[in-house]
Amino acid sequence: MRSIGYLPLAILLSVASAASAQMPSGPPSVGVIRAEQTSITETSEFVGRVQAIERVSLTARVTAFLDQRLFQEGTEVTRGDLLYRLERGPFEAAVQQQEATVADSSSRLANANIQLARAQSLLNGPAGQRSNVDDALANQRSLAAQVQSAQALLHIAQINLDYTEIRAPVAGKISRTSITAGNVVSPSSGPLASIISQDPMYVVFPVASRTLTELQKRYADKGGTAALVVVKLRLPDGSIYDRDGKIDYIDPSVSASTDTILLRARIANPPRAQAEAGQPVERRLLDGAFVNVLVEGVQPVLALGIPRKAVLSDQQGEYVYVVGSDNKVEQRRIKLGQSTAGTAVVSSGLKDGEMVISEGVQRVRPGIEVSPGPATPPLPAQSVSKS
């Protein structure tokens, strides 16, 4: 019975000895970094949509049979390209008919001019009568009006003939055709196809009115928001678009339902590669696509930056642990100005040069003594975005 009771006691003594050996002999080690002014690029991020600058629906202006479609669907066309050709015969005949009417009216007007001149020459002679002059003048003026009317009808006939050729009013990518050759088209037939411009593109994005006010205040003394910010895009696949844009329009009113203001940027959209003639051209920006809009300041600014992992939060807000000259920990309430996943910019609550714990924060509490050492890796200079 004595041996059975002895074994548990030995085990307990062994466990206690092992636990005592594993206990730390001094203050916990932490990694600290100095809070200091860092050169950063201020960035605000919004959700936007790509929008074509020009969008045109092609519609027949006259009623006629559709003879030919002269483009490849899905390719890019240039301004003035012939896209559709309608039946021309009836319109050519109408032009010829009006040309004949103009010629007939012109010949009768020429004769009326002669008659008027003759009546005016005889007016001062013994055979001259004022009534003959008046009749000749009225006839001349009536025929002159008929010539003008005939010329106007000829102009209309020529316009209708020109409408049998449907050309591209803008450059861009053309959609599929909705009506094939052999069908009758008219102004009431609806769009035959659409052309969407490709380069450059617009990017429209809503901004909270308060945020826009902050942006304008930030750059007011530097030339204005439109002059001192560039627009970058994060595409749906997460990559950053390789072209920068500029803000060219700010909506004059605030949306009553969302309290946002619409901004628009203009950005280039060149082809990804040289395409063969008649083949589709690939570009990275597509009309209607959602993108993340990064509004960046052109010139870097100095701000107090610390690692984002050093910032903790509770119900009262954000705070950090600071190590004083006596190596004791102090909890410091802070206010964040801007931040990303890796960097936090402190607008208040922290002074330049103070040592902030960024590694081992789970092992400390206010008032205890720690053994500080340099944190790894050091804080890199980087862009930060509005939180």
Q: Give domain limits for the chain.
A: 28-40+302-385, 44-53+197-301, 59-85+167-196, 89-162
Question: CA-CA distance, 311 to 308, in Å (whole number)?
Answer: 6
- Rg over alpha carbons for the chain, rounded to the nearest Å, is 41
What pLDDT sits at residue 300? 66
Report how far apart the first and last C-alpha atoms of the chain are (Å, whole number).
Answer: 70
What pLDDT sits at residue 221? 64
Q: Give residue-wise pLDDT tens across range 311-353.
A: 888 888 889 898 888 888 888 888 887 655 567 778 788 888 8
User: In this prediction, what percent of the chain has a pLDDT beyond 90?
Assistant: 32
List Cβ neighbours of 127 (8 Å cut-off, separation of 6 or more): none
**H or E element at residue 209:** helix 209-219
Question: CA-CA distance, 346 to 338, in Å (whole number)?
Answer: 7
- pLDDT higher for 205 or 120? 205
Taking residues 261-278, what's their average pLDDT? 85
Interior angle at CA 324, CA 322 and CA 328, nearest 5 = 85
What pLDDT sits at residue 126? 59
In the structure, what pLDDT confidence band is assigned to residue 3 with cuts at 50, 70 and 90?
Answer: very low
- Determine which of 208-212, 221-225, 273-277, 380-384 has the lowest per-residue pLDDT on average: 380-384
Tokens read off for 135: 């009749």
Tokens read off for 61: 């202006």
What pLDDT sits at residue 129? 73
Taking residues 205-227, what's their average pLDDT? 73
The candidate with the shortest Cα–Cα distance to 265, out of 44, 62, 40, 30, is 44
- What CATH homologous superfamily does 44-53+197-301 map to? Efflux pump adaptor protein, beta barrel domain (2.40.30.170)
Quick one: fold of 89-162? Helix Hairpins (1.10.287)
**Structural contact between residues 76 and 194, judged by C-beta atoms closer than 8 angstroms:** no
In the structure, what pLDDT confidence band is assigned to residue 9 with cuts at 50, 70 and 90?
Answer: low
Q: For residue 332, list its beta bridge partners.
A: 320
List Cβ neighbours of 99 (8 Å cut-off, separation of 6 or more): 154
Q: Is the pLDDT of residue 43 over 60?
A: yes
Task: Give the CATH class of 28-40+302-385.
Answer: mainly beta
What pLDDT sits at residue 208? 87
Q: How far is CA 337 from CA 95, 141, 230, in A?
A: 73, 83, 20
Question: CA-CA distance, 364 to 321, in Å (whole number)?
Answer: 8
- pLDDT higher for 160 or 3? 160
List alpha helices for 257-376, DSSP H.
none
Could you tell me whether strands 172-174 and 193-196 are parallel, antiparallel, or unpaired per DSSP bridges? antiparallel
In the structure, what pLDDT confidence band is assigned to residue 1 with cuts at 50, 70 and 90?
Answer: very low
Q: Is the pLDDT of residue 176 over 50?
A: yes
- Determine which of 17-26, 180-189, 326-335 has the lowest per-residue pLDDT on average: 17-26
Q: Which range scores top for mean pLDDT: 34-38, 174-178, 280-284? A: 174-178
Residue 26 burial by Cβ neighbours in a 10 Å radius (0-12, 13-18, 19+) = exposed
Question: CA-CA distance, 171 to 228, in Å (whole number)?
Answer: 31
Q: Is the pLDDT of residue 218 over 80?
A: no
**Structural contact between residues 149 and 107, judged by C-beta atoms closer than 8 angstroms:** no
Q: How far is CA 50 from CA 27, 55, 203, 227, 252, in A?
A: 56, 13, 4, 21, 20
Tokens 């390719």 found at: 75
Q: Is the pLDDT of residue 10 over 90?
A: no
Question: CA-CA distance, 44 to 338, in Å (whole number)?
Answer: 9
**Structural contact between residues 310 and 322, judged by C-beta atoms closer than 8 angstroms:** no
What pLDDT sits at residue 63? 93
CATH number for the segment(s) 59-85+167-196: 2.40.50.100
